[in-house]
Structure 1
Amino acid sequence: MKDETAKFITELFSDSRLLVALAVIVAVWLFTRALQKLAEILADKFSRYRLFISSLFPVLRLLTWLIAIPAITFSILEPPMNTVLAITASAGLAIGLGAQDLIRNLIAGILILFDRPFRVGDMVKAGDHYGEITDIGLRSVTLHTFDDSYVTLPNSMVLGQAVSNSNTGELDEMIVTELLLPAAIDTQTVREIAWEAAACSPYVYLKKPITIIVEDHFDFTFLTRYKIKAYVLDVRLERLMASDITERIKQEINRRGLLPQAEANKSLQATGPLPATPAPAEKSTP
Protein backbone atom coordinates (compact mmCIF):
# COMPACT_ATOMS: atom_id res chain seq x y z
CA MET A 1 0.00 0.00 0.00
CA LYS A 2 2.89 2.33 0.76
CA ASP A 3 4.35 1.61 -2.69
CA GLU A 4 1.01 2.43 -4.35
CA THR A 5 0.69 5.68 -2.37
CA ALA A 6 4.24 6.75 -3.19
CA LYS A 7 3.70 5.89 -6.86
CA PHE A 8 0.43 7.87 -6.96
CA ILE A 9 2.04 10.95 -5.36
CA THR A 10 4.96 10.76 -7.81
CA GLU A 11 2.63 10.49 -10.80
CA LEU A 12 0.40 13.25 -9.42
CA PHE A 13 3.24 15.78 -9.35
CA SER A 14 4.80 14.57 -12.59
CA ASP A 15 1.83 14.93 -14.94
CA SER A 16 -0.85 17.59 -15.47
CA ARG A 17 -3.62 16.05 -13.33
CA LEU A 18 -2.84 18.30 -10.37
CA LEU A 19 -3.00 21.42 -12.54
CA VAL A 20 -6.31 20.28 -14.04
CA ALA A 21 -7.73 19.66 -10.56
CA LEU A 22 -6.62 23.11 -9.38
CA ALA A 23 -8.13 24.68 -12.50
CA VAL A 24 -11.45 22.93 -11.87
CA ILE A 25 -11.44 24.07 -8.22
CA VAL A 26 -10.87 27.67 -9.31
CA ALA A 27 -13.64 27.33 -11.92
CA VAL A 28 -16.07 25.99 -9.32
CA TRP A 29 -15.16 28.84 -6.95
CA LEU A 30 -15.74 31.40 -9.72
CA PHE A 31 -19.06 29.72 -10.52
CA THR A 32 -20.23 30.02 -6.91
CA ARG A 33 -19.19 33.69 -6.84
CA ALA A 34 -21.11 34.32 -10.08
CA LEU A 35 -24.09 32.46 -8.61
CA GLN A 36 -23.95 34.69 -5.53
CA LYS A 37 -23.80 37.83 -7.68
CA LEU A 38 -26.74 36.62 -9.76
CA ALA A 39 -28.75 35.95 -6.60
CA GLU A 40 -28.03 39.48 -5.34
CA ILE A 41 -29.10 41.02 -8.68
CA LEU A 42 -32.31 38.99 -8.82
CA ALA A 43 -33.09 39.78 -5.17
CA ASP A 44 -32.72 43.51 -5.82
CA LYS A 45 -34.78 43.35 -9.02
CA PHE A 46 -37.60 41.21 -7.59
CA SER A 47 -37.75 42.67 -4.08
CA ARG A 48 -40.97 40.86 -3.18
CA TYR A 49 -39.16 37.51 -3.61
CA ARG A 50 -35.86 38.69 -2.11
CA LEU A 51 -35.90 36.31 0.83
CA PHE A 52 -36.72 33.26 -1.28
CA ILE A 53 -33.97 34.02 -3.81
CA SER A 54 -31.39 34.80 -1.13
CA SER A 55 -32.17 31.63 0.82
CA LEU A 56 -31.51 29.43 -2.24
CA PHE A 57 -27.88 30.48 -2.66
CA PRO A 58 -26.37 28.77 0.44
CA VAL A 59 -28.03 25.46 -0.47
CA LEU A 60 -26.92 25.68 -4.12
CA ARG A 61 -23.36 26.52 -3.04
CA LEU A 62 -23.24 23.50 -0.73
CA LEU A 63 -24.61 21.16 -3.42
CA THR A 64 -22.11 22.52 -5.97
CA TRP A 65 -19.13 21.70 -3.76
CA LEU A 66 -20.58 18.32 -2.77
CA ILE A 67 -20.73 17.41 -6.47
CA ALA A 68 -17.42 19.04 -7.45
CA ILE A 69 -15.16 17.50 -4.79
CA PRO A 70 -15.98 13.81 -5.53
CA ALA A 71 -15.86 14.54 -9.27
CA ILE A 72 -12.38 16.07 -8.99
CA THR A 73 -11.17 13.25 -6.76
CA PHE A 74 -12.39 10.26 -8.74
CA SER A 75 -12.55 11.63 -12.31
CA ILE A 76 -9.38 13.73 -12.50
CA LEU A 77 -6.98 12.58 -9.78
CA GLU A 78 -8.12 8.90 -9.89
CA PRO A 79 -6.28 7.73 -6.76
CA PRO A 80 -6.06 4.01 -5.90
CA MET A 81 -8.67 2.83 -3.42
CA ASN A 82 -6.01 1.88 -0.89
CA THR A 83 -4.62 5.41 -1.08
CA VAL A 84 -8.08 6.90 -0.58
CA LEU A 85 -8.67 4.76 2.50
CA ALA A 86 -5.24 5.59 3.93
CA ILE A 87 -5.64 9.33 3.38
CA THR A 88 -9.18 9.26 4.74
CA ALA A 89 -8.12 7.43 7.90
CA SER A 90 -5.15 9.74 8.49
CA ALA A 91 -7.22 12.86 7.83
CA GLY A 92 -10.00 11.60 10.10
CA LEU A 93 -7.56 11.00 12.93
CA ALA A 94 -5.90 14.40 12.49
CA ILE A 95 -9.21 16.21 12.26
CA GLY A 96 -10.62 14.34 15.24
CA LEU A 97 -7.66 15.38 17.40
CA GLY A 98 -7.03 18.95 16.27
CA ALA A 99 -10.13 20.33 14.58
CA GLN A 100 -13.05 19.35 16.77
CA ASP A 101 -14.52 22.86 16.75
CA LEU A 102 -14.29 23.00 12.96
CA ILE A 103 -16.07 19.66 12.56
CA ARG A 104 -18.71 20.74 15.05
CA ASN A 105 -19.33 23.94 13.07
CA LEU A 106 -19.44 22.03 9.76
CA ILE A 107 -22.05 19.59 11.05
CA ALA A 108 -24.06 22.44 12.57
CA GLY A 109 -23.86 24.37 9.26
CA ILE A 110 -25.24 21.41 7.31
CA LEU A 111 -28.06 21.00 9.85
CA ILE A 112 -28.92 24.71 9.62
CA LEU A 113 -29.02 24.60 5.81
CA PHE A 114 -31.39 21.61 5.70
CA ASP A 115 -33.37 22.03 8.93
CA ARG A 116 -33.74 25.78 8.18
CA PRO A 117 -34.52 27.34 11.58
CA PHE A 118 -33.78 30.60 9.75
CA ARG A 119 -32.87 31.66 6.23
CA VAL A 120 -30.88 34.38 4.55
CA GLY A 121 -32.89 37.58 4.93
CA ASP A 122 -34.55 36.65 8.24
CA MET A 123 -34.37 39.07 11.17
CA VAL A 124 -32.83 37.01 13.97
CA LYS A 125 -31.86 37.62 17.58
CA ALA A 126 -29.04 35.34 18.74
CA GLY A 127 -27.70 36.14 22.19
CA ASP A 128 -27.05 39.87 22.40
CA HIS A 129 -27.03 40.35 18.62
CA TYR A 130 -30.03 41.25 16.46
CA GLY A 131 -30.06 41.82 12.72
CA GLU A 132 -30.54 40.35 9.25
CA ILE A 133 -28.95 37.06 8.27
CA THR A 134 -26.83 37.83 5.21
CA ASP A 135 -24.91 34.56 4.80
CA ILE A 136 -25.09 30.98 6.05
CA GLY A 137 -21.80 29.15 5.53
CA LEU A 138 -20.51 25.77 6.60
CA ARG A 139 -18.47 27.33 9.41
CA SER A 140 -20.37 30.44 10.51
CA VAL A 141 -23.42 32.65 10.11
CA THR A 142 -23.11 36.34 9.24
CA LEU A 143 -25.56 38.77 10.81
CA HIS A 144 -25.95 42.42 9.72
CA THR A 145 -27.06 44.67 12.59
CA PHE A 146 -28.86 48.01 12.35
CA ASP A 147 -25.65 49.70 13.46
CA ASP A 148 -24.16 48.58 10.11
CA SER A 149 -21.92 46.00 11.77
CA TYR A 150 -21.38 42.47 10.47
CA VAL A 151 -21.29 39.89 13.26
CA THR A 152 -19.88 36.42 12.54
CA LEU A 153 -21.34 33.69 14.74
CA PRO A 154 -20.04 30.09 14.75
CA ASN A 155 -22.68 27.63 13.61
CA SER A 156 -22.31 25.45 16.71
CA MET A 157 -22.97 28.44 18.97
CA VAL A 158 -26.05 29.48 16.99
CA LEU A 159 -27.46 25.96 16.94
CA GLY A 160 -26.81 25.48 20.66
CA GLN A 161 -28.83 28.43 21.95
CA ALA A 162 -32.30 29.93 21.65
CA VAL A 163 -32.71 31.96 18.45
CA SER A 164 -35.62 34.34 17.91
CA ASN A 165 -36.81 34.64 14.28
CA SER A 166 -39.00 37.69 13.62
CA ASN A 167 -40.29 36.93 10.12
CA THR A 168 -39.52 33.25 9.31
CA GLY A 169 -39.05 33.64 5.58
CA GLU A 170 -41.71 36.33 5.12
CA LEU A 171 -40.81 39.76 3.77
CA ASP A 172 -43.08 41.53 6.27
CA GLU A 173 -42.85 41.32 10.06
CA MET A 174 -44.67 42.69 13.09
CA ILE A 175 -43.15 45.82 14.63
CA VAL A 176 -44.10 46.83 18.18
CA THR A 177 -43.70 50.56 18.88
CA GLU A 178 -43.98 51.52 22.53
CA LEU A 179 -44.93 54.94 23.88
CA LEU A 180 -45.15 56.11 27.52
CA LEU A 181 -47.51 59.01 28.22
CA PRO A 182 -48.95 60.59 31.37
CA ALA A 183 -51.94 58.68 32.71
CA ALA A 184 -54.15 61.80 32.64
CA ILE A 185 -54.29 61.92 28.83
CA ASP A 186 -57.52 60.55 27.40
CA THR A 187 -56.83 56.94 26.38
CA GLN A 188 -59.37 56.82 23.57
CA THR A 189 -57.92 59.93 21.93
CA VAL A 190 -54.39 58.53 22.04
CA ARG A 191 -55.57 55.20 20.64
CA GLU A 192 -57.15 56.95 17.66
CA ILE A 193 -54.02 59.03 17.09
CA ALA A 194 -51.77 55.96 17.33
CA TRP A 195 -53.89 53.90 14.92
CA GLU A 196 -54.00 56.74 12.39
CA ALA A 197 -50.24 57.31 12.72
CA ALA A 198 -49.54 53.63 11.99
CA ALA A 199 -52.03 53.47 9.11
CA CYS A 200 -50.58 56.59 7.46
CA SER A 201 -46.95 55.46 7.67
CA PRO A 202 -45.44 54.84 4.21
CA TYR A 203 -43.72 51.69 5.54
CA VAL A 204 -46.78 49.89 6.92
CA TYR A 205 -48.20 46.69 5.37
CA LEU A 206 -51.94 47.34 5.41
CA LYS A 207 -52.98 43.82 4.41
CA LYS A 208 -52.38 42.79 8.02
CA PRO A 209 -54.13 44.31 11.05
CA ILE A 210 -52.99 47.18 13.27
CA THR A 211 -53.48 46.61 16.99
CA ILE A 212 -53.18 49.07 19.90
CA ILE A 213 -52.52 47.66 23.38
CA VAL A 214 -52.94 49.89 26.46
CA GLU A 215 -51.25 49.03 29.78
CA ASP A 216 -50.78 50.79 33.11
CA HIS A 217 -47.22 51.64 34.09
CA PHE A 218 -45.66 53.31 37.13
CA ASP A 219 -42.28 55.04 37.09
CA PHE A 220 -42.15 57.74 39.80
CA THR A 221 -45.64 58.63 38.62
CA PHE A 222 -48.63 56.98 36.98
CA LEU A 223 -48.14 56.47 33.24
CA THR A 224 -49.87 54.66 30.40
CA ARG A 225 -47.92 52.41 28.03
CA TYR A 226 -49.21 52.22 24.44
CA LYS A 227 -48.03 49.34 22.23
CA ILE A 228 -48.67 49.90 18.53
CA LYS A 229 -48.46 46.56 16.71
CA ALA A 230 -48.26 46.87 12.92
CA TYR A 231 -46.55 45.04 10.07
CA VAL A 232 -43.76 46.59 8.02
CA LEU A 233 -43.50 46.15 4.24
CA ASP A 234 -39.87 45.01 4.35
CA VAL A 235 -37.89 43.76 7.34
CA ARG A 236 -35.10 46.21 6.54
CA LEU A 237 -37.47 49.12 7.17
CA GLU A 238 -38.53 48.20 10.70
CA ARG A 239 -36.56 50.95 12.47
CA LEU A 240 -37.75 53.55 9.96
CA MET A 241 -41.39 52.58 10.53
CA ALA A 242 -41.05 52.63 14.34
CA SER A 243 -39.41 56.07 14.17
CA ASP A 244 -42.04 57.38 11.74
CA ILE A 245 -44.96 56.21 13.91
CA THR A 246 -43.44 57.71 17.06
CA GLU A 247 -42.82 61.03 15.34
CA ARG A 248 -46.36 61.20 13.93
CA ILE A 249 -47.93 60.47 17.34
CA LYS A 250 -45.86 63.12 19.13
CA GLN A 251 -46.56 65.73 16.48
CA GLU A 252 -50.31 65.15 16.70
CA ILE A 253 -50.31 65.18 20.52
CA ASN A 254 -48.40 68.47 20.52
CA ARG A 255 -50.66 69.91 17.83
CA ARG A 256 -53.76 69.15 19.91
CA GLY A 257 -52.12 70.42 23.11
CA LEU A 258 -52.81 67.24 25.05
CA LEU A 259 -49.58 67.09 27.04
CA PRO A 260 -49.71 70.59 28.64
CA GLN A 261 -53.33 70.08 29.71
CA ALA A 262 -52.48 66.69 31.19
CA GLU A 263 -49.58 68.14 33.16
CA ALA A 264 -51.82 70.95 34.46
CA ASN A 265 -54.43 68.45 35.57
CA LYS A 266 -51.78 66.37 37.31
CA SER A 267 -50.41 69.36 39.21
CA LEU A 268 -53.93 70.36 40.27
CA GLN A 269 -54.61 66.87 41.57
CA ALA A 270 -51.33 66.89 43.49
CA THR A 271 -51.74 70.30 45.14
CA GLY A 272 -55.51 70.31 45.65
CA PRO A 273 -57.84 73.27 45.14
CA LEU A 274 -56.39 76.72 45.70
CA PRO A 275 -57.69 78.64 48.75
CA ALA A 276 -60.21 81.41 48.08
CA THR A 277 -58.77 84.91 48.09
CA PRO A 278 -60.50 87.09 50.71
CA ALA A 279 -62.28 90.19 49.44
CA PRO A 280 -60.66 93.50 50.44
CA ALA A 281 -62.31 95.20 53.44
CA GLU A 282 -64.42 98.29 52.78
CA LYS A 283 -63.03 101.51 54.10
CA SER A 284 -65.23 103.27 56.69
CA THR A 285 -66.09 106.83 55.97
CA PRO A 286 -65.38 109.33 58.77
Structure 2
Amino acid sequence: MKKFLSLIVLLMVSSTAFAADETTEHLDNIVQFTSLIRWGGVFFSFFVILGSWILLRFTNRLVETFSAQFVQYRMVLQKLQSFFQFFVYMTAGLVVFMISFRINDQILTLIGGTLAVSIGFALKDLAASFIAGLTVMIDRPFQVGDRVTFEGNYGDIITIGLRSVRMRTLTDDIITIPNNKFLSEVTMSGNYGALDMQCVIPFYIGMDQDINLARDLIQEAASSSRYIHLPKPVVVLVNQEIADNYMAIKLTCKAYVVDTVYEKLFETDITLRVMKEFKHHNIQPPMIAVRSTVQ
Protein backbone atom coordinates (compact mmCIF):
# COMPACT_ATOMS: atom_id res chain seq x y z
CA MET A 1 0.00 0.00 0.00
CA LYS A 2 2.81 2.36 0.83
CA LYS A 3 4.50 1.57 -2.49
CA PHE A 4 1.24 2.31 -4.34
CA LEU A 5 0.84 5.67 -2.61
CA SER A 6 4.46 6.48 -3.35
CA LEU A 7 3.89 5.73 -7.05
CA ILE A 8 0.86 8.01 -7.17
CA VAL A 9 2.77 10.82 -5.48
CA LEU A 10 5.65 10.34 -7.93
CA LEU A 11 3.31 10.54 -10.92
CA MET A 12 1.65 13.68 -9.58
CA VAL A 13 5.00 15.33 -8.99
CA SER A 14 6.18 14.32 -12.49
CA SER A 15 3.02 15.68 -14.20
CA THR A 16 3.28 18.89 -12.20
CA ALA A 17 6.90 19.27 -13.19
CA PHE A 18 6.06 18.59 -16.87
CA ALA A 19 3.26 21.15 -16.84
CA ALA A 20 5.56 23.63 -15.15
CA ASP A 21 8.24 23.01 -17.79
CA GLU A 22 5.69 23.43 -20.62
CA THR A 23 4.38 26.65 -19.10
CA THR A 24 7.92 27.91 -18.67
CA GLU A 25 8.67 27.08 -22.31
CA HIS A 26 5.58 29.02 -23.50
CA LEU A 27 6.56 31.97 -21.31
CA ASP A 28 10.07 31.85 -22.71
CA ASN A 29 8.71 31.91 -26.29
CA ILE A 30 6.46 34.86 -25.51
CA VAL A 31 9.29 36.74 -23.83
CA GLN A 32 11.60 35.95 -26.74
CA PHE A 33 9.02 37.16 -29.27
CA THR A 34 8.27 40.36 -27.37
CA SER A 35 11.99 41.07 -27.15
CA LEU A 36 12.01 41.30 -30.97
CA ILE A 37 9.39 44.06 -31.01
CA ARG A 38 10.40 47.71 -30.97
CA TRP A 39 7.53 49.31 -29.13
CA GLY A 40 8.63 52.80 -30.11
CA GLY A 41 8.59 51.69 -33.74
CA VAL A 42 5.09 50.26 -33.30
CA PHE A 43 3.97 53.68 -32.07
CA PHE A 44 5.49 55.46 -35.07
CA SER A 45 3.96 52.83 -37.39
CA PHE A 46 0.54 54.33 -36.75
CA PHE A 47 1.79 57.64 -38.13
CA VAL A 48 3.27 55.88 -41.20
CA ILE A 49 -0.07 54.17 -41.89
CA LEU A 50 -1.99 57.41 -41.34
CA GLY A 51 0.37 59.32 -43.66
CA SER A 52 0.00 56.65 -46.37
CA TRP A 53 -3.78 56.81 -46.10
CA ILE A 54 -3.77 60.63 -46.41
CA LEU A 55 -1.39 60.44 -49.39
CA LEU A 56 -3.60 57.92 -51.20
CA ARG A 57 -6.74 59.96 -50.55
CA PHE A 58 -4.99 63.07 -51.91
CA THR A 59 -3.79 61.29 -55.07
CA ASN A 60 -7.28 59.81 -55.64
CA ARG A 61 -8.84 63.27 -55.48
CA LEU A 62 -6.10 64.61 -57.77
CA VAL A 63 -6.64 61.87 -60.35
CA GLU A 64 -10.42 62.39 -60.27
CA THR A 65 -9.98 66.14 -60.85
CA PHE A 66 -7.54 65.76 -63.74
CA SER A 67 -9.57 62.92 -65.28
CA ALA A 68 -12.65 65.17 -65.37
CA GLN A 69 -10.70 68.04 -66.99
CA PHE A 70 -8.57 65.97 -69.38
CA VAL A 71 -10.78 63.07 -70.46
CA GLN A 72 -8.34 61.88 -73.13
CA TYR A 73 -5.75 61.11 -70.44
CA ARG A 74 -8.14 59.42 -68.01
CA MET A 75 -7.03 55.84 -68.76
CA VAL A 76 -3.33 56.74 -68.44
CA LEU A 77 -3.92 58.55 -65.15
CA GLN A 78 -5.86 55.61 -63.73
CA LYS A 79 -3.08 53.18 -64.68
CA LEU A 80 -0.47 55.43 -63.06
CA GLN A 81 -2.67 55.68 -59.98
CA SER A 82 -2.83 51.88 -59.69
CA PHE A 83 0.98 51.56 -59.89
CA PHE A 84 1.40 54.37 -57.36
CA GLN A 85 -1.04 52.74 -54.90
CA PHE A 86 0.84 49.45 -55.16
CA PHE A 87 4.16 51.27 -54.56
CA VAL A 88 2.74 53.07 -51.48
CA TYR A 89 1.33 49.83 -50.04
CA MET A 90 4.62 47.98 -50.46
CA THR A 91 6.74 50.86 -49.13
CA ALA A 92 4.50 51.47 -46.11
CA GLY A 93 4.43 47.77 -45.25
CA LEU A 94 8.21 47.49 -45.49
CA VAL A 95 8.79 50.62 -43.38
CA VAL A 96 6.33 49.46 -40.69
CA PHE A 97 8.05 46.08 -40.53
CA MET A 98 11.58 47.54 -40.37
CA ILE A 99 10.82 49.99 -37.56
CA SER A 100 8.60 47.61 -35.55
CA PHE A 101 10.88 44.54 -35.34
CA ARG A 102 14.53 43.84 -34.61
CA ILE A 103 15.83 41.87 -37.59
CA ASN A 104 17.70 38.68 -36.70
CA ASP A 105 18.00 35.09 -37.92
CA GLN A 106 14.72 34.07 -36.26
CA ILE A 107 12.74 36.83 -37.98
CA LEU A 108 14.37 36.05 -41.32
CA THR A 109 13.51 32.36 -40.93
CA LEU A 110 9.90 33.20 -40.10
CA ILE A 111 9.63 35.53 -43.11
CA GLY A 112 11.23 32.97 -45.41
CA GLY A 113 8.83 30.22 -44.32
CA THR A 114 5.80 32.48 -44.72
CA LEU A 115 6.91 33.62 -48.17
CA ALA A 116 7.61 30.05 -49.27
CA VAL A 117 4.12 28.89 -48.25
CA SER A 118 2.46 31.93 -49.86
CA ILE A 119 4.40 31.60 -53.10
CA GLY A 120 3.64 27.87 -53.18
CA PHE A 121 -0.12 28.47 -52.96
CA ALA A 122 0.10 31.26 -55.56
CA LEU A 123 2.14 29.17 -57.98
CA LYS A 124 -0.19 26.17 -57.70
CA ASP A 125 -2.94 27.78 -59.80
CA LEU A 126 -0.36 29.41 -62.07
CA ALA A 127 1.30 26.05 -62.76
CA ALA A 128 -2.10 24.44 -63.45
CA SER A 129 -2.97 27.21 -65.93
CA PHE A 130 0.48 26.92 -67.54
CA ILE A 131 0.12 23.17 -68.10
CA ALA A 132 -3.45 23.69 -69.36
CA GLY A 133 -2.17 26.37 -71.76
CA LEU A 134 0.32 23.92 -73.26
CA THR A 135 -2.50 21.36 -73.57
CA VAL A 136 -4.73 23.89 -75.37
CA MET A 137 -1.92 24.78 -77.79
CA ILE A 138 -1.16 21.13 -78.55
CA ASP A 139 -4.72 19.76 -78.64
CA ARG A 140 -6.11 22.92 -80.32
CA PRO A 141 -9.83 22.79 -79.40
CA PHE A 142 -9.97 26.28 -80.94
CA GLN A 143 -7.65 28.78 -82.60
CA VAL A 144 -7.07 32.52 -82.55
CA GLY A 145 -9.84 34.12 -84.61
CA ASP A 146 -12.39 31.36 -83.91
CA ARG A 147 -15.89 32.34 -82.84
CA VAL A 148 -16.61 30.16 -79.83
CA THR A 149 -19.18 29.63 -77.10
CA PHE A 150 -17.85 29.00 -73.59
CA GLU A 151 -19.87 29.03 -70.35
CA GLY A 152 -22.57 31.22 -71.89
CA ASN A 153 -20.07 33.66 -73.42
CA TYR A 154 -19.99 34.04 -77.21
CA GLY A 155 -17.27 35.83 -79.13
CA ASP A 156 -13.91 35.71 -80.91
CA ILE A 157 -10.68 34.34 -79.47
CA ILE A 158 -8.09 37.13 -79.74
CA THR A 159 -5.15 35.67 -77.78
CA ILE A 160 -4.12 32.28 -76.40
CA GLY A 161 -1.52 32.69 -73.66
CA LEU A 162 0.23 30.32 -71.30
CA ARG A 163 -1.97 31.42 -68.39
CA SER A 164 -5.25 32.56 -69.93
CA VAL A 165 -7.30 33.02 -73.09
CA ARG A 166 -8.88 36.35 -74.03
CA MET A 167 -12.20 36.52 -75.84
CA ARG A 168 -13.89 39.57 -77.39
CA THR A 169 -17.67 39.24 -77.18
CA LEU A 170 -20.11 40.63 -79.74
CA THR A 171 -20.77 43.52 -77.32
CA ASP A 172 -17.03 44.36 -77.52
CA ASP A 173 -16.26 43.17 -73.99
CA ILE A 174 -12.92 41.49 -73.30
CA ILE A 175 -13.21 38.31 -71.20
CA THR A 176 -10.15 36.67 -69.65
CA ILE A 177 -10.55 32.91 -69.04
CA PRO A 178 -7.93 30.80 -67.18
CA ASN A 179 -6.60 27.97 -69.32
CA ASN A 180 -7.44 25.26 -66.78
CA LYS A 181 -11.15 26.03 -67.28
CA PHE A 182 -10.97 24.57 -70.80
CA LEU A 183 -9.89 21.17 -69.46
CA SER A 184 -13.22 20.50 -67.75
CA GLU A 185 -15.79 22.58 -69.68
CA VAL A 186 -17.30 22.16 -73.16
CA THR A 187 -16.18 24.67 -75.81
CA MET A 188 -18.04 25.09 -79.11
CA SER A 189 -16.20 26.56 -82.11
CA GLY A 190 -18.35 27.87 -84.95
CA ASN A 191 -15.70 28.07 -87.67
CA TYR A 192 -12.57 26.27 -86.30
CA GLY A 193 -9.91 28.16 -88.21
CA ALA A 194 -12.00 29.02 -91.28
CA LEU A 195 -13.31 32.47 -92.22
CA ASP A 196 -16.80 31.26 -93.15
CA MET A 197 -19.27 29.99 -90.57
CA GLN A 198 -22.75 28.50 -90.63
CA CYS A 199 -25.57 30.71 -89.39
CA VAL A 200 -28.91 29.27 -88.28
CA ILE A 201 -31.90 31.63 -88.67
CA PRO A 202 -35.41 30.44 -87.73
CA PHE A 203 -38.69 31.72 -89.24
CA TYR A 204 -42.26 30.90 -88.18
CA ILE A 205 -45.46 30.90 -90.25
CA GLY A 206 -49.02 29.72 -89.68
CA MET A 207 -50.15 26.15 -90.31
CA ASP A 208 -52.48 27.26 -93.14
CA GLN A 209 -49.85 29.25 -95.07
CA ASP A 210 -48.06 28.32 -98.31
CA ILE A 211 -45.10 26.40 -96.91
CA ASN A 212 -43.39 25.73 -100.24
CA LEU A 213 -43.55 29.39 -101.23
CA ALA A 214 -42.19 30.48 -97.87
CA ARG A 215 -39.34 27.98 -98.18
CA ASP A 216 -38.44 29.26 -101.67
CA LEU A 217 -38.52 32.89 -100.50
CA ILE A 218 -36.13 32.13 -97.64
CA GLN A 219 -33.82 30.21 -99.95
CA GLU A 220 -33.74 33.06 -102.47
CA ALA A 221 -33.21 35.74 -99.80
CA ALA A 222 -30.25 33.87 -98.31
CA SER A 223 -28.69 33.04 -101.69
CA SER A 224 -28.81 36.67 -102.86
CA SER A 225 -27.36 38.21 -99.71
CA ARG A 226 -24.13 40.15 -100.12
CA TYR A 227 -22.64 38.26 -97.14
CA ILE A 228 -23.38 34.72 -98.39
CA HIS A 229 -20.60 32.17 -98.86
CA LEU A 230 -21.96 30.45 -101.96
CA PRO A 231 -19.44 27.58 -102.31
CA LYS A 232 -21.37 26.00 -99.45
CA PRO A 233 -25.08 25.12 -99.77
CA VAL A 234 -28.08 27.00 -98.42
CA VAL A 235 -30.50 24.64 -96.66
CA VAL A 236 -34.00 25.40 -95.38
CA LEU A 237 -35.44 22.80 -93.01
CA VAL A 238 -39.18 22.55 -92.25
CA ASN A 239 -40.83 21.15 -89.14
CA GLN A 240 -43.83 21.71 -86.88
CA GLU A 241 -43.49 23.68 -83.66
CA ILE A 242 -46.07 22.84 -81.02
CA ALA A 243 -46.46 24.82 -77.80
CA ASP A 244 -49.13 25.21 -75.16
CA ASN A 245 -51.29 27.71 -77.02
CA TYR A 246 -50.19 27.67 -80.64
CA MET A 247 -49.01 25.49 -83.52
CA ALA A 248 -46.68 26.79 -86.19
CA ILE A 249 -44.46 25.80 -89.07
CA LYS A 250 -40.81 26.46 -88.32
CA LEU A 251 -38.52 27.07 -91.29
CA THR A 252 -34.83 26.99 -90.33
CA CYS A 253 -32.38 28.63 -92.73
CA LYS A 254 -28.85 27.24 -92.59
CA ALA A 255 -26.41 29.30 -94.64
CA TYR A 256 -22.73 30.20 -94.45
CA VAL A 257 -21.55 33.76 -93.98
CA VAL A 258 -18.43 34.74 -95.90
CA ASP A 259 -16.67 36.01 -92.74
CA THR A 260 -17.50 35.60 -89.06
CA VAL A 261 -17.31 39.37 -88.51
CA TYR A 262 -20.45 39.72 -90.69
CA GLU A 263 -22.51 37.13 -88.78
CA LYS A 264 -25.05 39.54 -87.29
CA LEU A 265 -25.19 41.67 -90.44
CA PHE A 266 -25.87 38.49 -92.41
CA GLU A 267 -28.71 37.47 -90.09
CA THR A 268 -30.18 40.98 -90.22
CA ASP A 269 -29.98 41.13 -94.01
CA ILE A 270 -31.73 37.78 -94.49
CA THR A 271 -34.39 38.54 -91.87
CA LEU A 272 -35.29 41.89 -93.46
CA ARG A 273 -35.46 40.34 -96.92
CA VAL A 274 -37.63 37.46 -95.79
CA MET A 275 -40.01 39.67 -93.79
CA LYS A 276 -40.41 41.94 -96.81
CA GLU A 277 -41.22 39.02 -99.11
CA PHE A 278 -43.59 37.45 -96.59
CA LYS A 279 -45.50 40.70 -96.39
CA HIS A 280 -45.58 41.05 -100.18
CA HIS A 281 -46.94 37.49 -100.63
CA ASN A 282 -49.29 37.74 -97.62
CA ILE A 283 -47.65 34.93 -95.67
CA GLN A 284 -48.88 35.31 -92.10
CA PRO A 285 -47.20 34.41 -88.80
CA PRO A 286 -48.76 31.72 -86.56
CA MET A 287 -51.92 32.61 -84.69
CA ILE A 288 -52.40 31.89 -81.00
CA ALA A 289 -55.14 29.34 -80.52
CA VAL A 290 -57.46 30.37 -77.68
CA ARG A 291 -59.59 27.57 -76.28
CA SER A 292 -62.74 28.35 -74.31
CA THR A 293 -64.69 25.86 -72.25
CA VAL A 294 -68.45 26.00 -72.61
CA GLN A 295 -70.13 25.94 -69.22
TM-score range, shorter chain: 0.5 to 0.7
Counterpart Cα distance in 1 of 2:186 and 2:116: 31
After superposition, the C-alpha distances for 1:29-78 in whole angstroms (9 at most, x for unaligned) are xxxxxxxxxxxxxxxxxxxxxxxxxxxxxxxxxxxxxxxxxxxxxxxxxx
2:215 alignment counterpart: 191
Counterpart Cα distance in 2 of 1:141 and 1:208: 31
* Aligned with 2:281 (options 244, 256, 259): 256
**What is the TM-score of this pair, normalised by structure 1?**
0.57
Within-5 A mapping of 1:144-183: 144-183=168-207
Per the TM alignment, residue 92 of structure 1 is displaced from its structure 2 partner at its CA by 9.4
Are 1:242 and 2:267 an aligned pair? yes
1:135 alignment counterpart: 159
Decide whether the 8 Å contact of 2:219 with 2:253 is kept in 1: yes
Are 1:216 and 2:226 an aligned pair? no
After superposition, the C-alpha distances for 1:228-257 in whole angstroms (9 at most, x for unaligned) are 000010011111111111111100010122
1:203 alignment counterpart: 227
Per the TM alignment, residue 205 of structure 1 is displaced from its structure 2 partner at its CA by 0.1
Per the TM alignment, residue 184 of structure 1 is displaced from its structure 2 partner at its CA by 1.4
Counterpart Cα distance in 1 of 2:233 and 2:119: 53
Counterpart Cα distance in 2 of 1:243 and 1:191: 18
1:227 alignment counterpart: 252
**What is the TM-score of this pair, normalised by structure 2?**
0.56
Q: How many residues align?
A: 176
Counterpart Cα distance in 1 of 2:260 and 2:156: 8
Q: Secondary structure at the match of 2:142?
A: coil
Counterpart Cα distance in 2 of 1:256 and 1:148: 38
Counterpart Cα distance in 1 of 2:186 and 2:209: 39
Counterpart Cα distance in 2 of 1:117 and 1:204: 26
- Return the letter of the residue paired with 2:215: R
Per the TM alignment, residue 95 of structure 1 is displaced from its structure 2 partner at its CA by 4.9
Per the TM alignment, residue 167 of structure 1 is displaced from its structure 2 partner at its CA by 0.8
After superposition, the C-alpha distances for 1:143-165 in whole angstroms (9 at most, x for unaligned) are 11111111111111123211111
Bigger Rg over Cα:
2
Per the TM alignment, residue 97 of structure 1 is displaced from its structure 2 partner at its CA by 3.7
Q: Secondary structure at the match of 2:284?
A: helix
Counterpart Cα distance in 2 of 1:259 and 1:156: 50
Gaps of 5+ in 1: 1-90, 271-286
Per the TM alignment, residue 258 of structure 1 is displaced from its structure 2 partner at its CA by 2.3
Per the TM alignment, residue 94 of structure 1 is displaced from its structure 2 partner at its CA by 6.8
Counterpart Cα distance in 1 of 2:185 and 2:116: 28
- Return the letter of the residue paired with 2:231: K
- Return the letter of the residue paired with 2:141: P
Counterpart Cα distance in 2 of 1:92 and 1:228: 59
Closer, same or farther: CA 92–237 of 1 in aligned 2, 3 Å? farther
Counterpart Cα distance in 2 of 1:151 and 1:164: 16
Per the TM alignment, residue 93 of structure 1 is displaced from its structure 2 partner at its CA by 7.9
Per the TM alignment, residue 170 of structure 1 is displaced from its structure 2 partner at its CA by 0.8
Q: Secondary structure at the match of 2:275?
A: helix
1:110 alignment counterpart: 134
- Work out the percentage of aligned pairs sharing the same amino acid: 34
Gaps of 5+ in 2: 1-114
Counterpart Cα distance in 2 of 1:159 and 1:239: 30
